[in-house]
Structure 1
Amino acid sequence: MSNDAALPWYRKTYRWGQTNLTEMDPVYGDLSWWKEYWRKTRVQGVIINAGGIVAYYPSSLKLQYRAEGLGEQDLFGDWAAAARQEGLSVLARMDINRATKEFYNAHPDWFVVNSEGEPLIVEGRYFSCINSDYYKKYIPEVLKEIIVNYRPDGFTDNSWTGVSRKSICHCLNCRAKFKAEVGLELPTASNWNDPAYRKWIKWSYSCRTENWDLFNQVTQEHGGADCLWLGMVNANPVKTHASFCDLKEVGERSVIMMCDHQSRDTLNGFEQNSLNGHLLHGVAGWDSIIPESMSNYIRGERSFRQGSNPANETRLWMVEGIAGGISPWYHHVGAVQKDRRQFDNAPPVMQWHEENERYLYNRRPVANVGLIWSQENIEFYGNDDTYEKVELPWHGFVRALTRARIPFIPVHADHIAREAANLEVLILPDLAAMTDSQCLAVQRFVESGGNLVFTGASATLNEWGETRARFPLQSITGMEHLFKVEGAVGKQSSDWAFFNAHNYFNLPDNRHEVLAGFENTEILPFGGQVHRVQIVDESLTELATYIPSYPIYPPEFSWVRTPQTDIPVMLAGQHSSGGRLFYFAGDVDRCYGRTHLPDLGELLANAVKWAAADKLPLKVEGPGYLDCKLYRQENRLILHIVNLSGANQHPGYLEEYLPVGPITVSLKLEGLQPSSVQLKVAGREAIPTLDDSWITVRVDSVADHELIIIE
């Protein structure tokens, strides 16, 4: 695959490496050692520091600050030439969001200022304004100089979006541009009730996208059609809103997306990385390559730039990314390391990736469940509390689907109509803010026989976060929102003296199949809020009702004050088209995202299984927390299983793998006539059994991961 000389570099460079050079690496770095490391890690491309905040080459632009130890050297030139000799693709790394005091003194109108005209300064560096000539003229000159002198394949920059939403720049450039394009004065503070602030949010996204297009115009003009300016993105859509990076817009412009998402976080765990691959491929296409920077230094409760990340922690993050379609990209800070253990982390994974790369590209996910997300919902529903309003329900469904081994794909709300033909189930995880066209796409999906699972405030707000006069999905659900919420709204105290979240679901005697497994209880712990709704026709019926909170302490007072209400918390039914409908009026997705209480996760998974009506393409039986990603590649089915059992402890790092097994895997063949089954991690063939349109394979044990190839 990767030896096809006719392909452009961005179609054949799968493994990447980056040594983020420091200012003293020109003095102490050993390039010959790194060349050997390139070979050991099987990289096909490298990212090398070039210019911007620090120049690693003798720039003719006097205001571009040079690395302290550079002297008369040309470090970028030397490393780039060495990489070319090794046959590697070369990307020039930039960081363009801040500059020195001397630069500011020369061009004060190019830098961010607050409403009082004071510049934004951090660690002696002044933040540049994305709407000034620093971005519009100066950076294009830097790009042109690097291209003319070194001919890199392209550029990356993980600070291209400028300052975050915490700073509203009031420089003359921003004031004039906002007035001309929006017709308003700049807002002076964060205020979601201010129309000018909401429009500033959308405008800020468009300004970044405008610069993306400008930089690519410059690089392609001077470096040719394949010389790309790539920026960098973070794949978590809830996080990227802070930097005004529109993942959908960037994805639509990208044949390769450079992802800067180096490790797991406290909420999302390792499973986040396979999701990263699916989400970015969802906006850029499955023909695009998605390399991701993967940390070899310690991150977590405390970060240590020079300390080696525990080997299992690094490797499982890499493996999870690969399972989701991510291309591995090792990342070290500094060319000289005293903790040399970090250099043992990546090579085994990179070497395995090279051996199996033919199974890891040119494939499509086999998944008929779509988990919907959008930037509008993050912005105009999440507002200043995206963690509580957006991230928790999103994570709740991700974890529930992963634990239940249900293949799913993240789908942008604007792409519902595009993906509808491949989906059986749409999930709206409290997707409150939606455009009219997005709501119409959901409606048409259900009217065509599709199945819908939705929660909380989904579709109750317009794209600006304003409450709609009428629930737009009422025609397909037969349900009206009363726009009242009860229970534990927002973040609650864990102090037992405060018991707002001490509430429950009351289960009826006659149980819906979604409640299977709960036969030995009449209640389920909840802990969340309930949206009051009214059934206006017979499309939906209630499955359980709400039990309000009551004192939790002292125990003598802990008795149910209101054992029953008529407030529904779960409703299910069927549209006239045949599509199944399930609504969580109680925010089970958010509560599960917060607590990981198994009962809540099972409710979410059971609802999706019921909605899918036996049309899921995969069944996996056996112990463990397994992330299962299924793909079709020509006449192959490819299943990547990642073992996450015991892996997501926090605080902490993955110290050892906990093997699980045996595992029985059954897959729908979809017309495939299999002749062999290979286990590419165990290194052996398996003997399958065939039953109608299903194939079943037994895997004795999985330590970190297994790759099953059926062809």
Structure 2
Amino acid sequence: MGFWTTDSSSIGGNGVSWRIKRCWKGSGGLVKMCNSHKTEEAIAKEWLKKSRAIGLEMIFFEHTKENFDAEEVVREIANCGANTVRFAAISWKGEAQYPSKVAPMAEGLEGRDLLKEMREATNRYDIRLIVYINDLNRTLVPKHPEWVKRNEHGELMFLGDERDSKQGFCYFTCINSPWLEEFYLKVIDEIVGYEPDGIYLDCNSIPRYLGKYVCYCKYCREEFRKVSGKDIPSQKILSSSNPWKDPVALEFREWIRGRIRAFYKKVINRVRQKNPKIAVINNAGSYTSRGLGLPVEEQAKIFDGLLLEAYIRNIGAELWHAGENAKFADNLSIPVFVHAEYFSYRWRFSYCSPSELAVKIGFLIANGANPLLAEYPFHEKEGLKAVKPSYSSIKENEEFLVDTKPISSVALIYSRKTAEFYDKRDTLEKHENLFRGAYLLLSQTHTIFDVLHSDLSGEDLGKYKAIYLPNAACLDEKEIQTIQDYVKSGGGLIASYESSLFNEKCLKRDDFGLNEVMGVKYLKTKRINSGSYVEGVYMKAKESHEVTKGFHDGQLLPLPDALVITEVKKAKGLCTTIIPQPPEVSLGKESAYPSLLINEFGKGRVVYFPFGIESLYLEYRFPILRRLFDNAVKWVTQGGTLLKIETAPTVEATLRGKDSVYIIHLINYTNSERILEAPCPQEIKIEFRLPDKKKVKNIKTLSKKRIAFDESNGILRISLQLESYEGIVIISD
């Protein structure tokens, strides 16, 4: 059954005024909204939701300005199906690609105005222009050393290593220095005069991380002392394993975040005062960015759009890292770009393979993000042939891709409080590492899931069959009550390691906050293998249950070295623990420590892993752990999933929809440990249970390929062979 909801409140930010008159929410998870009006400024920024972007980075202009032909470059970009260009107007040196009265012109321009040329060319080809501006500087540092961030010894702070210092590569500017008024805002005024569609802020100087990039210049010292009466904490304190135990460090954290908010507000207001139709987009880093900078969730309430930097080969990540960032952004309130990495590892002038580009872009489409090809060296056109099929397909199928919402059975919880406080402690299992392993476990068991951020509400959780807490250690009382009510009402819960053991300030509780829900009492966390033993730790299957289905009595499964020791209350232990006995290499003795527990609380079901199953799977990819986890998901969701998929674990699936349309996205990243030279086709079988007894009116693929399907008893069965990416569109009555 669906239900009507009414809400007369206005929602939305960044100039968007929505009036929700009436919403219909059916059991399929689709929501229809009626909006009575949007502001003129909001309508002007609607293009962001349909953006297929290509980034022209300033590092390439340093070598080939004399060969840069804006008309030719924009024509090539338009031909590959892109509709947006991000063009760097201010380089990392602080030099302008146009005649500026504030910034020195880039060497070799000889009076050319590349920004004007790009604006004229993009207008001719109906391409949106986002102008890139950086806050790093080199050229003006000798004249204005007071603009530059300083370390606690008073030395200028630069980007890179000591070699860059000798070469004078580029320096970090300070947002609290005169640089903001004397340079940055004046440059923004100049750029606004070119009437771009968007301005992109790449604020490298904003302290996203702790320790290294904290500024101790006279402006920061004076301003912090003025409001607190204290000195900025030392780099040693801010770089320590737990800086937040120092109250001054916490005070400094809140102060610098306030300064960052003021900086963002001043920049955005400057743009909107001159042209409110220009979108302001910020580089938010990765979703894991933390420390002193603003969390991604908060930035989404400030800007018109964000970029998440999902570099992959360049940082040694795997292809699914793009999907991981896109899925995190899917529940934010604004359009989000995610990088589709164009180059190969650190060779930025050499594009990666067509198969790899198709998979990277596929991950973004499947999770509701806008692709931004990073970074395109304009003289290397060959790679655009690989981009064209993906971007052209997005363009042709906009009606099935824009404004869709995820339809998922499970919510994976990212706890910002745990990431910012708990993960800085000397802990054996960090939330962010376990979160990434949780993403992989869910993806490789073909569980259809969303990512939710902290500050949960009952309304957030109500549309899911289960929620998953991968060591969400820091939960406040409100969140605990919300989860407790959710499970009692019939929701499922999977939790691991020290979930709910700490409050929102990372103060350890005497027992789990969710002790009644999990049915256990916390005793201690124990490293049961110092790492010096030859043999590992195991869980031993002891009880027959749906969660241990397919495992025989006494079967051994790998465990990590750290285990939470619990006293069983109402829960039931399904596995015991085998601990190695030094210096023996033999199996070791069986202990009474339960290593897998289940519980039923109210109408809901709970599985508790008292160890980091996620980090173990992330590192080793044990198929046996994936099978166990899949059983756990099926048990806690009580069979309430719309989609069942049979294929290789390295095929990720998502389900999205709007109105009466459902889209199944499939991404095949098999054999992508190194450059994915050619696709490794996978056979896929799908069962899709249409909600509310709906019938299929039509079915098509985004690639226009034919697929085999049949429908009976409300279940649609599909079979196909997948190369890199496919989208299956199901139109119901």
What TM-score comes out, normalization by structure 2 length?
0.86
Instruction: Please say if 1:518 is aligned against 2:551.
Output: yes
Instruction: Please say if 1:200 is aligned against 2:233.
Output: no
Counterpart residue number, 1:708: 728
Equivalent of 1:46 in 85, 88, 92: 85
Instruction: Please say if 1:257 is aligned against 2:291.
Output: no
Counterparts of 1:49 and 1:525 in 2: how far apart (Å)? 50
Counterparts of 1:5 and 1:683 in 2: how far apart (Å)? 40
Partner of 2:359, secondary structure, is helix
Counterparts of 1:133 and 1:671 in 2: how far apart (Å)? 64
Counterparts of 1:380 and 1:118 in 2: how far apart (Å)? 29
Instruction: Please say if 1:237 is aligned against 2:287.
Output: yes
Shift of 1:184: 3.8
- Partner amino acid, structure 2, of 1:141: K
Counterparts of 2:358 and 2:498 in 1: how far apart (Å)? 39
Q: Which stretch has the larger CA shift, 403-412 or 35-44?
A: 35-44
Counterpart residue number, 2:527: 486
Partner of 2:267, secondary structure, is helix
Q: Which stretch has the larger CA shift, 416-425 or 632-641?
A: 416-425
Partner of 1:307, secondary structure, is strand
Instruction: Please say if 1:295 is aligned against 2:345.
Output: no
Instruction: Please say if 1:143 is aligned against 2:174.
Output: no
* Cα distance change, pair 152–513 in 1 and its aligned pair in 2 (3 A): same
Equivalent of 1:126 in 168, 171, 186: 171
Counterparts of 1:679 and 1:615 in 2: how far apart (Å)? 26
Counterpart residue number, 1:642: 667
Equivalent of 1:574 in 582, 600, 605: 600
The correspondence of residues 306-345 of structure 1 with structure 2, limited to 5 A, is: 306-337=349-380, 340-345=381-386
Partner of 1:558, secondary structure, is coil
Instruction: Please say if 1:504 is aligned against 2:538.
Output: yes
- Partner amino acid, structure 1, of 2:274: H
Counterparts of 2:41 and 2:174 in 1: how far apart (Å)? 41
Q: Is the 8 A contact 2:499 2:512 kept in 1?
A: no
Q: Which stretch has the larger CA shift, 661-670 or 695-704?
A: 661-670
Instruction: Please say if 1:282 is aligned against 2:310.
Output: no
Partner of 1:252, secondary structure, is coil
Instruction: Please say if 1:589 is aligned against 2:614.
Output: yes
Counterpart residue number, 2:486: 445
* Cα distance change, pair 703–13 in 1 and its aligned pair in 2 (3 A): closer
Instruction: Please say if 1:220 is aligned against 2:220.
Output: no
Shift of 1:478: 3.5
* Cα distance change, pair 627–667 in 1 and its aligned pair in 2 (3 A): farther
Counterparts of 2:634 and 2:313 in 1: how far apart (Å)? 28
Instruction: Please say if 1:159 is aligned against 2:203.
Output: yes
* Cα distance change, pair 657–614 in 1 and its aligned pair in 2 (3 A): same
The correspondence of residues 600-679 of structure 1 with structure 2, limited to 5 A, is: 600-623=625-648, 625-647=650-672, 649=673, 652-679=674-701
Q: Is the 8 A contact 1:273 1:324 kept in 2?
A: no
Q: Is the 8 A contact 1:91 1:153 kept in 2?
A: yes
Q: Is the 8 A contact 2:342 2:352 kept in 1?
A: yes
Instruction: Please say if 1:9 is aligned against 2:45.
Output: yes
Counterparts of 2:343 and 2:317 in 1: how far apart (Å)? 20
Counterparts of 2:329 and 2:392 in 1: how far apart (Å)? 24
* Cα distance change, pair 121–275 in 1 and its aligned pair in 2 (3 A): closer
The correspondence of residues 334-413 of structure 1 with structure 2, limited to 5 A, is: 334-337=377-380, 340-383=381-424, 389-413=430-454
- Partner amino acid, structure 1, of 2:538: Y
Counterparts of 2:391 and 2:607 in 1: how far apart (Å)? 43
Counterparts of 2:595 and 2:479 in 1: how far apart (Å)? 25
Counterparts of 1:602 and 1:171 in 2: how far apart (Å)? 54
Shift of 1:201: 4.0
Shift of 1:220: 0.6
- Partner amino acid, structure 2, of 1:126: Y
> 1:567-586: per-residue Cα shift (whole Å, max 9, x none)?
111111111x2111111112
The correspondence of residues 407-486 of structure 1 with structure 2, limited to 5 A, is: 407-486=448-527
Partner of 1:661, secondary structure, is strand
Counterparts of 1:422 and 1:636 in 2: how far apart (Å)? 18
- Partner amino acid, structure 1, of 2:108: G
Equivalent of 1:98 in 132, 137, 153: 137
Counterparts of 1:214 and 1:83 in 2: how far apart (Å)? 28
- Partner amino acid, structure 1, of 2:172: F
Counterparts of 1:549 and 1:77 in 2: how far apart (Å)? 70
* Cα distance change, pair 585–231 in 1 and its aligned pair in 2 (3 A): same
Shift of 1:265: 7.2
Counterpart residue number, 2:562: 529
Counterparts of 2:52 and 2:399 in 1: how far apart (Å)? 13
Shift of 1:282: 1.1
Counterpart residue number, 1:560: 587
Instruction: Please say if 1:680 is aligned against 2:705.
Output: no
Partner of 2:729, secondary structure, is strand
Q: Is the 8 A contact 1:623 1:663 kept in 2?
A: no
The correspondence of residues 17-28 of structure 1 with structure 2, limited to 5 A, is: 17-21=54-58, 22-28=61-67
Q: Is the 8 A contact 1:232 1:258 kept in 2?
A: yes
Counterparts of 2:535 and 2:421 in 1: how far apart (Å)? 26
Shift of 1:99: 3.5
Shift of 1:613: 0.6
Q: Is the 8 A contact 1:10 1:255 kept in 2?
A: no
Counterparts of 1:136 and 1:40 in 2: how far apart (Å)? 40
- Partner amino acid, structure 1, of 2:44: P
Shift of 1:314: 1.8
Counterparts of 1:470 and 1:5 in 2: how far apart (Å)? 51
Counterparts of 2:730 and 2:563 in 1: how far apart (Å)? 45
Shift of 1:679: 2.6
Counterparts of 2:219 and 2:421 in 1: how far apart (Å)? 26
Counterparts of 2:708 and 2:495 in 1: how far apart (Å)? 40
* Cα distance change, pair 604–37 in 1 and its aligned pair in 2 (3 A): same
Equivalent of 1:73 in 112, 127, 130: 112
- Partner amino acid, structure 1, of 2:87: I
Shift of 1:416: 4.1
Counterparts of 1:158 and 1:375 in 2: how far apart (Å)? 23
- Partner amino acid, structure 1, of 2:576: T
* Cα distance change, pair 65–382 in 1 and its aligned pair in 2 (3 A): farther
Counterpart residue number, 1:549: 580
Counterparts of 1:488 and 1:200 in 2: how far apart (Å)? 39
Shift of 1:507: 1.5
* Cα distance change, pair 587–5 in 1 and its aligned pair in 2 (3 A): closer
Q: How many residues in Structure 1 have an aligned counterpart in Structure 2?
A: 671
> 1:148-204: per-residue Cα shift (whole Å, max 9, x none)?
3x1112211233553542232111222233334555421102232433334434544
Counterpart residue number, 2:5: none
> 1:301-328: per-residue Cα shift (whole Å, max 9, x none)?
xx11111212222221111111111222
Shift of 1:109: 3.2
- Partner amino acid, structure 2, of 1:611: V
Shift of 1:412: 0.2
Counterparts of 2:181 and 2:523 in 1: how far apart (Å)? 50
Partner of 1:117, secondary structure, is coil
* Cα distance change, pair 265–27 in 1 and its aligned pair in 2 (3 A): closer
Q: Is the 8 A contact 2:256 2:292 kept in 1?
A: no
Shift of 1:469: 3.9
Shift of 1:132: 2.3
Shift of 1:387: 10
Root-mean-square deviation over aligned CA pairs: 2.6
Counterparts of 1:688 and 1:185 in 2: how far apart (Å)? 70
